[in-house]
Amino acid sequence: MQSPDHRNLKFNIFANIGDGAFFGFAVGFASYSTVIPLFVATMTNSAMLIGLIPAIHNMGWQLPQLLMAKRISRMERIKPFVMFMTIQERLPILGLAFVGLLLPVIGSTPALIATFFLLVWQGLGSGLTANAWQIMISKVIPCDIRATFFGGQSAAANLLASIGAVLAGVILVKIAPPFDFAACFFIASALYVISWFFLNQTREPSRPADPDPEKIQPLWQDVISILRSDRHFRNFLISRFISQFGMMAFAFYTVFAVKILGMSNITIGVMTSILMITQVVANPLLGRLADKWSRKWVLALGGAAAVASSILAILIKNPNLFVLVFILFGIAATAFWTIGLTISLEFGNELQRPTYVGMSNTLIAPSAILAPLLGGFLADSFGYPVTFIASAVFGLISIFTLILLVNDPAKGLHQPKII
């Protein structure tokens, strides 16, 4: 892999953390878990449609990444592609602002159709950008500080997202419809523009294009070759796939705490704040630990935190002590995102890396869909404790798969065959 230009390293770190910070700030005003579902709820009572919102976003991020691998691997410079495609994940939020303003005029049904069109556009835009963005980051941020960088970027994003969420709540209370949600989306759009400006400052070195057409083979052949020849990466994918089921309990903690433990809405708000603070603190700490020690073992620690949170959710009867569950949840979610993102960039050679990154996301997408469905089925059929137990069991399987069957690529143990 081409070494990042160290003369520009500090500048690139500053620019990309600025991008992440303002991107997170924008997400606070247009959250896929709070603000946008509330907006859709003003147009429909369908729980199914409301539940589709985060699913569209998550699937949009994961599924297209592998499809872009071949194109990205042939690019001398990736930044121009990233800058164009990331507009496709930002512009739809501006469209939501206009839908909000026009809602009283056009009515609920057309507005609902337009909203879901924009959400699909945004989701696909994020997925079409994601692989190229990760590869661009791997070019400008050295491997030995990459986890620290992702941790710092995520911490900045989480911190400003929490501030944005609070301000969005104030806007929705203080401003009358149809200007309430529209104001949130307009502010988010402005913040996305600032984020785009920071991202555009990235100084990316060029790399020579591979002139040998014989090395270019169909994507599916690359995927099969990697799965056959690279057992450590194959086992990493298996661990990541199972880990989605190991975290399926997370979606039910809040409902369980309210319905079963009798936790008040005020306390839930406090717990949510603690969760955000945990992620802000855990991101740089886990990132630095991963750089100095081991990506694999920090990821395993995150899995252990997920298992512990599921077990404590069953054992704790005092609502005030449930904060421990949320803290462990925050640590686990941080490790899954920050360290998972980092380690995915360390398999394969430079030409193969876009395919590895795409596989790391696209091939685990089915588990991202099935896990919450399984968790909900178990909770409805047998109760929340069964969901939590199943989650802990899957988490343990994921951890042991990672520890026993995967070498840490950052430690030089991973030597994949050249395809």
- pLDDT (tens digit per residue) in 348-396: 888 889 999 999 999 998 888 888 888 888 988 999 999 999 999 999 9
Q: Which of 32-41, 210-219, 264-273 has the lowest mean pLDDT?
A: 210-219
| Last residue of one domain, picked from the residues 175, 207, 239 | 207
Contacts of 221 (CB under 8 A, 6+ apart): none
Q: Poorest-confidence range of 106-115, 128-137, 255-264?
A: 255-264
Residues 93 and 140 in one domain: yes
The answer to whether residues 378 and 390 touch, using CB atoms and an 8 Å cutoff, is: yes
Report the range of poorest mean pLDDT among 30-44, 237-251, 308-322, 401-415: 401-415
135-148 confidence digits (pLDDT tens):
999 999 999 999 99
C-beta of residue 146 within 8 angstroms of C-beta of residue 344: no
- Give the pLDDT score at 206: 80
Q: Mean of the pLDDT values across residues 198-221?
A: 75
Tell me if 343 sits within 8 A of 239, measured CB to CB: no
Please report whether residue 389 resides in a domain: yes
The pLDDT of residue 225 is above 60: yes
Mean pLDDT of all residues in the chain? Answer: 89
Whether residue 193 is found in the same domain as residue 231: no
The predicted structure's pLDDT at residue 5? 58
Q: What is the pLDDT of residue 413?
A: 40
| Two tokens, residue 44 | 């429909």
Residue 94 has pLDDT above 70, yes or no: yes
Domain's final residue, options 160, 184, 207 = 207
Burial 369-390 (b: 16+ CB within 10 A, else e): eebbebbeebbeeeebbebbbb
- Tell me whether residue 266 is in a domain: yes
Mean pLDDT computed over 189-208: 93
Q: What is the pLDDT of residue 414?
A: 41
Q: Would 223 be classed as within a structural domain?
A: yes
Shared domain check, 139 and 260 = no
Residue-range definition of the domain harbouring residue 20: 1-207
User: For the domain that residue 352 is a member of, what is the CATH number?
Assistant: 1.20.1250.20
Dist. CA 392–CA 375, nearest whole Å: 12
- In terms of domains, do 56 and 178 share one? yes
pLDDT the model gives residue 2:
46
Same domain (yes/no): 81, 133: yes
Q: Is residue 417 part of a domain?
A: no
The predicted model scores a pTM of 0.87
Same domain, 116 and 52: yes
* Per-residue pLDDT at 9: 93
Decide which of 207, 241, 273 is a domain's last residue.
207
pLDDT value, residue 419: 31
Tell me if 63 sits within 8 A of 365, measured CB to CB.
yes
More confident residue, 213 or 15: 15
For residues 12 and 97, membership in a common domain is answered with yes
Q: How confident is the model at residue 27 (pLDDT cuts 50, 70, 90)?
A: very high
For residue 8, being part of any structural domain is answered with yes
- Both 128 and 163 in one domain: the answer is yes
Residue 6 lies in a domain: yes
Total domains in the chain come to 2
Neighbours of 239 (CB within 10 A): 26
For the segment 247-284, what is each residue's pLDDT rounded down to a tens digit?
999 888 888 888 888 888 678 767 877 888 999 999 99
Looking at per-residue pLDDT, the higher value among 265 and 133 belongs to 133
Residue 255 lies in a domain: yes
Residues 261 and 176 in one domain: no
Same domain, 253 and 339: yes
- Cβ neighbours of residue 307 closer than 8 Å, sequence gap 6 or more: 246, 392, 395, 396, 399
Checking if the pLDDT of 335 tops 50, the result is yes
pLDDT at residue 54, rounded to an integer:
80
Predicted confidence (pLDDT) at residue 418 exceeds the cutoff of 60: no
Residues 150 and 177 both lie in one domain: yes
* Same-domain status, 202 and 221: no
Question: Would you say residue 418 lies in a domain?
Answer: no
Rounded distance between C-alpha atoms, residue 15 and residue 288, angstroms? 19
Q: 104: which residues sit within 8 A by CB, 6+ positions away?
A: 177, 178
In the DSSP assignment, the letter for residue 407 is: -
